[in-house]
Chains A and B, each alone.
Chain A
Amino acid sequence: MRLRNQDGIVSNAVRVRVTEAIRPDCVYMVHGFGHTARGLRSAYGRGASDAQLITRYATDPLMGGTATNVNFVTLEAEA
């Protein structure tokens, strides 16, 4: 399946597993996959990038920390 975020960014296709282990309204992705640099021959194009789907963030006004949990995805079946 592919993940499409609220701004229309679509991830690479990945396998999906349904689990009890996380909240029902969440999707979990392993960080560090979906590389786009061709020089990374073993890693290029493998898996999906969670960073790619984080297109919005909120900033804490006091210390500037960023919150990325303001992105939402829908799952699309791969044809």
Chain B
Amino acid sequence: MLEFVTTRHNPMVDPALHVWGWEVPVYLFLGGWVAGSMIIAGWLARRGRRPGDGCVCHVLPWLSLVLLSLGMGALFLDLEHRLYVWRMYLTFQPLSPMSWGGWILILVYPVLLLGALTSIPTDLLSRWPAVAALAARLRQPEAAGRLGMVSIVAGIALGIYTGILLSSLGARPLWSSAALGPLFLVSGLSTGAAFAHLIARNADEQASLLKADTVFLAVELALIGLVLVGLLTASAVHANAAALLLGGPYTAVFWVLVVGLGILLPLLLQALMVSHRIPHTVIAPLLVIGGGLALRFVIVSAGQYSHWISP
């Protein structure tokens, strides 16, 4: 039995770390959603979708621009030394995933803008001939395909770097998993696919997005399992962190909200919808989207609570 007493009393650090509140999970959720949308839009563009054919991929860049801006707004609010935020963009720190992220966010915007540009009807662009010419060029099959690939790569970078960022903070043992980056990416893909399915007007697209989302949900579940197995078999410090979700204070919210309502139930409903055993419902995609938000909140909160237990 070790009794530990300390006189330290720093705000946001003691008795347990809580430096990141709602702003960071909200950004992680929106960033993941945008990443998923970018990958889906890029994929559809490479499959030959063209503006005017009612493909959902034409509205996704617009949606992504709004969501990502909201996410970056949340991130800005989280900073304690906001007026110095421009310092992020005077340097690149190759070992800092947060530095990667700052630059990834900057590079994602032009990709989204170009994607949004291709969906604007040409007559609305007639006042800006150079822009109209660019939009026309991007509508050519080869250019559209290349932009789609760029969109996919940028989406993967956006969706995966946040998980890598958290996993690089070894002092928070709950996040010490190489599967955390892929987990966030797949969760973002799942959220993106669920929402795209909700707003898709083309019946074929609706069906294939539903199928894709079902696969993403299953992979997400597997990745959560891998994260937990990895922690339980790593060390006492990491097993102690995993226990937060397996009997500790975060057990209920994790298994009920994140896994149960956020993955398992929609997975079941969507599998039944895909095989036409139950009629279509919006409940499943909405649960998926809510589950993505819950996943970020639980991981960020529980991760900060976890700590290096050796004396």
| Interface positions of A (Cβ within 8 A of B) | 19-21
B4 to chain A, nearest CB (A): 11
Residue B204 lies at the interface, judged by CB distance under 8 Å to chain A: no
A20 and B1 alpha carbons, distance in the complex (Å)? 9
4 contacts between A and B (CB under 8 A): A19-B3, A20-B1, A20-B3, A21-B3
Q: Which 4 A-B pairs have the closest CB atoms?
A: A19-B3, A20-B3, A20-B1, A21-B3
A28 to chain B, nearest CB (A): 13
Residues of A within 8 A of B3 (CB): 19-21
Number of A-B contacts (CB under 8 A): 4
Chain A residue at minimum C-beta to C-beta distance from B1: A20
Interface size in chain B (residues, C-beta < 8 A)? 2
A20 and B3 alpha carbons, distance in the complex (Å)? 8
| Interface positions of B (Cβ within 8 A of A) | 1, 3
A33 and B205 alpha carbons, distance in the complex (Å)? 71
A21 and B5 alpha carbons, distance in the complex (Å)? 12
Residues of B within 8 A of A21 (CB): 3
A13 and B3 alpha carbons, distance in the complex (Å)? 23
A71 to chain B, nearest CB (A): 26
A25 to chain B, nearest CB (A): 19
A22 to chain B, nearest CB (A): 12
Residues of B within 8 A of A20 (CB): 1, 3
A21 and B1 alpha carbons, distance in the complex (Å)? 12
A18 to chain B, nearest CB (A): 9
B62 to chain A, nearest CB (A): 54
A19 and B1 alpha carbons, distance in the complex (Å)? 10
B309 to chain A, nearest CB (A): 19
Residues of A within 8 A of B1 (CB): 20
B1 to chain A, nearest CB (A): 7
A63 to chain B, nearest CB (A): 37
Chain A residue at minimum C-beta to C-beta distance from B3: A19
A21 and B3 alpha carbons, distance in the complex (Å)? 9
A20 and B5 alpha carbons, distance in the complex (Å)? 13
A19 and B2 alpha carbons, distance in the complex (Å)? 10
Residues of B within 8 A of A19 (CB): 3
A21 and B4 alpha carbons, distance in the complex (Å)? 12
A38 and B1 alpha carbons, distance in the complex (Å)? 42
B294 to chain A, nearest CB (A): 33
B149 to chain A, nearest CB (A): 60
A20 and B2 alpha carbons, distance in the complex (Å)? 10
